[in-house]
Amino acid sequence: MWRLLLLLAAPWGPGTLAGSPPGPAARSLRGSWRLASGNGSVVLSGAVPGCVHTALLRQGLIQDPYYRSNDLAYKWISLDNWTYSRTFKAFDARKWQKVNLVFEGIDTVAQILVNNVTVGRTDNMFNRYSFDITSVIKEDSFIEVRFLSAISYAAQRSRSHRAYRVPPQCPPPVQKGECHVNFIRKEQCSFSWDWGPSFPTQGIWKDVRIEAYNICHLIYFTLTPIYVKSAQQWSLEIESVFDVVSSKPVVGLVTVNIPKLQIQQTYTTELHPGEDRIVLLVNISKSATVQKWWPNGHGNQTGYDMTTTFIMEAGYKIEKFSKAYFRTVELVEEPIPGSPGLSFYFRINGHPIFIKGSNWIPADSFQDRVSSDVLKIILQSTVDANMNALRVWGGGVYEQDEFYDICDELGIMIWQDFMFACALYPTDQNFLKSVRAEITHQVKRLKSHPSIILWSGNNENEAAIAGNWFFIPHAEMKVYFKDYVTLYVKNIQEIVLAEDKSRPYITSSPTNGMESVKEGWISQNPYDTHYGDTHFYDYLSDCWDWTVYPKTRFASEYGFQSWPSFSTLEKVSSTEDWSFTSNFSFHRQHHASGNDQMLHQAGLHFKLPQNTDPLQLFKDTIYLTQVMQAQCIKAETEFYRRSQSEIINGEGHTMGALYWQLNDIWQAPSWASLEYGGKWKMLHYFAQRFFAPLLPVGHEDKGVLFIYGVSDLHSDSELTLKVSLYQWDSTAPVCTLAKEGVIVKAGSAAPIYKEPVNDLLKRCGNCTRQSCVVTFYFVGKGELYSPSNYHFLSSLKDAVGLEKAQLSVSTSLSAVGKWGWGWRPQLRYLLLFNISLVWQLNLESEKLDSF
């Protein structure tokens, strides 16, 4: 009988078969809604998906919320309770067994009414909500979404949590934010962060639609590749979750087609009333060559087009088009000879990989402005800078589907935090119920992406308890330990393990991994260099001095601030703001003493700007903070990269460097290497070089210059190392030494050159530490080469002979890039040409007289 149905299916196309009940119908509710403030005094039209702030902006009712201190001026928006409403024509409800109102994302606390009947309530921005409206829908229907201010809700929840406090109460005053964000399941940084403003948005931030169906409806469809090592065989697990509305079991056929792997398999299946799922295991024939998905720099990101067709009883047909990817991931925590503790590194497709990249924060305070183009520009910039990974940090949002699609395509591995950061959290039943739904939904939504290599419970909450950040009296600590385990182990971990066995889960970042588990999930010192990952910040020590950095297993956060360029700031400021000590400059700085720290750090090695023209002084200062940041993070990252293969005093085997942070949420000083809008700071240009697959890295230890060969390549390289000394006032080297036949092993870092600096200077005649700089690079056969790198022999403020560079940059729009930002390749080429010289630090010296 089922075979017959299969034959009948073709002529009528997707959806239904002749004489059978209609397939599912969907009506989008995207578009323009009526938006009203709490007392009705402000009424406007608001786009969905969208939020109140962007609606007001589009209607010209407010200025750019990022302009000057508008974040403070517009606090009233988030304190009000807004209502979205609209009418819509529905389907003939009698034709359908079930009609649902589906919100892919709603921000955040709302009561939903359809035809004046409350059909549901929401309290979690990260959940997907589906409300049964079968009995209330009419042909002409009216929907209302009545929001409650997230600020009021969070305060209310905190007040009603009487048994004990759940800190922190409020962010530090310098952040000018809102309180109790840990009581609401909403983007945690929307109440302010140390790099971002407080804009607690309200709105329908993702798709909303009506879905009507009979018999059954597909809710989730996920793919998981499985590799059985002993059999050397791939299989693909296909999981489909259905809402079955038929009162009896529903039988059907599922056909899976992957043409390039010669797969066409049909399975019989049976679904039971209620929520039910089908799990199929498709074995890939050993004779088919499976091309794996590799991270950027390690191979291709092959994906296979695949069609899955469900033909259910009564001719109900559902077709799913997807891409199947094949890759394995292991987080390796095992003893290392000569070192106490355990390793912490990722093996992708059985291959150990050094993780290079940065930390991702939300690209805008208003998610509806994070367009496809915004994502593409930022993500392309990561691979352009030789990164292979990003950590989606736990104080933001689980990113939109397209973010992960692009990462899949570009080979960007994702360390995915769950959205909990820098706080303790309640664990009452309502909160846990909401979190459980959130985690289940997000894991199901995201688990098919090969780019995601790790789930991580939270950002810094293990450290917050271990280090008692919130000054909790010792005697009261027990309850917080218990809450921590309840949330991240008994709930989140349990769900992750049930939903997704294909990738590792760690409870926190930083954590000691298995050692934290052993110590009851909270280590005495989650920053232990012998275990897990670390976060490291030190703004006062000299950042050029590598001995200040932790020789960690994995550096998942580290960084220094800088100011975004004047052209970026100009858009949100006015003339009186353009000084380092203006109210504006204090207002945009959300990290206590941040501006002083930048000047302190810059002052260690550079002459601080002294131009008498105030505007030029401001521009020079901005510029110098970027030079300082780039140089500091270069020093730190190179330290981590060169520490990958060695153990010194029991420490080392560093296998990851993710600096804080990649992108910006607005135009302000921060740790980012990309400005709001996507412009590269100097750090990003540096990153392209310090993350190069093949790199010579220099450092000095007790007066001896060492050069390490660092390689992320899959095969050993035979190279010539060229070491030159240049005087600051000349582009011709004083002397060059070529060391031939240097072997740099695949995936390793090892010293390949060693010479006391005094000997080097003597050998080179006219050089002193102040007058010369060392540069070095690799050349090999064919295309094989590294960028040139350098080592400073003195502070730049003591350098003798530095001259104005007199360089100019011209741009052209002629080269159109993959996604249309045509000016970039050429501009980058020119800039790279310039910064390939050590004299890059003098690039703008005509503007920076005191440099």
Q: Which of 74, 195, 420, 480 binds ligand BMA (CB under 6 A)?
A: 195
Rounded least distance, CB 673 to ligand BMA, Å: 14
User: Residue 225, SS3?
Assistant: strand
* Amino acid identity for residue 435 in this structure: V
Q: Which is nearer to ligand BMA, 304 or 659 (CB)?
A: 659
Residue 681 CB, nearest approach to ligand BMA (Å): 16
Is the Cβ of residue 100 or residue 459 nearer to ligand BMA in the bound state? 459
CA distance linking residue 98 with residue 531, whole number of Å: 52
Among 194, 368, 533, 620, binds ligand BMA (CB under 6 A): 194
Under the binding rule (CB under 6 A), the answer on residue 144 touching ligand BMA is no
Among the listed residues 201, 459, 491, 562, the single contact to ligand BMA using CB under 6 A: 459
Structure tokens at 183: 């009581």
Q: Which residues, numbered 669-698, are part of the site for ligand BMA (CB under 6 A)?
A: 671
- Are 841 and 794 in contact by the 8 Å Cβ rule? The answer is no
CA 370 to chain centroid: 14
Q: Work out how close the CB of 652 gets to ligand BMA at its nearest, in angstroms, rounded to a whole number.
A: 23
Count the site residues for ligand BMA by CB under 6 A: 12
Nearest to 459 by CA among 427, 488, 419: 419
Structure tokens at 731: 């582009």
Return the number of the residue (293 or 393) whose C-beta is nearest ligand BMA. 393
Applying CB under 6 A, which of residues 84, 193, 418, 777 lies at the interface with ligand BMA? 193
| Binding segment toward ligand BMA, per CB under 6 A, in 124-132, 187-195, 404-412, 785-793 | 187-195
* Residue whose tokens read 């002529």: 11
Binding part of the chain for ligand BMA, among 79-87, 192-200, 269-277, 717-725 by CB under 6 A, reads 192-200
CB 521 within 8 A of CB 462: yes
Q: Is 460 in the site for ligand BMA (CB under 6 A)?
A: yes
The contact pattern for ligand BMA, residues 92-131, with x = CB under 6 A and - = no contact, is ----------------------------------------
Segment interacting with ligand BMA (CB under 6 A) among 41-49, 188-196, 483-491, 823-831: 188-196
Closest Cα partner for 708 from 657, 640, 760? 640
* Angle 384-388-392 from CA coordinates, rounded to 5°: 105
Nearer to ligand BMA, 521 or 660 (CB): 660
Residue with tokens 């050159």: 753
Residue 781, classed as helix, strand or coil, is coil
Positions in 589-618 near ligand BMA (CB under 6 A): none
For ligand BMA, the closer CB: 460 or 712: 460
Site for ligand BMA in 751-780 (CB under 6 A): none
Contact 577, 608 (CB under 8 A): no
Residue 524 to residue 513: CA distance in whole angstroms? 12
**Residues that are catalytic:** 460, 557
CA dist 623 → 128, 568, 601 (Å): 44, 13, 14
8 A C-beta contact, residue 126 and residue 397 = yes
What 3-state DSSP class applies to 525? coil
Instruction: Work out whether 417 is an interface residue with ligand BMA (CB under 6 A).
Output: no
660 scored as a contact of ligand BMA (CB under 6 A)? yes
Candidate list 263, 342, 370, 422; residue touching ligand BMA; CB under 6 A: 422
Residue 558 structure tokens:
């580290």
Residue 557 engages ligand BMA in binding (rule: CB under 6 A): yes
Query: Cβ closer to ligand BMA: 187 or 460?
Result: 460
164 or 586: CB nearest ligand BMA: 586
Angle 815-818-820 (CA atoms, 0-180°, nearest 5)? 65
Smallest separation (angstroms) from ligand BMA to the CB of 748: 30
For residue 542, the Cα-to-chain-centroid distance in whole angstroms is 29
From the CB of 590, what's the least distance to ligand BMA, in Å? 9
Strand partners, 116: none
CB of 109 to ligand BMA, least distance (A): 24
Give the pairing of strands 704-711 and 694-701. antiparallel
Complex with ligand BMA: residue 67 or 539, whichever CB lies closer: 539
Q: How many CB atoms lie under 10 A from the CB of residue 34? A: 14
Is residue 2 classed as helix, strand or coil in its secondary structure? Answer: helix
Amino acid type, 557: E
> Does position 535 bind ligand BMA by CB under 6 A?
yes
Tell me which residues touch ligand BMA (CB under 6 A): 193-195, 395, 421-422, 459-460, 535, 557, 660, 671
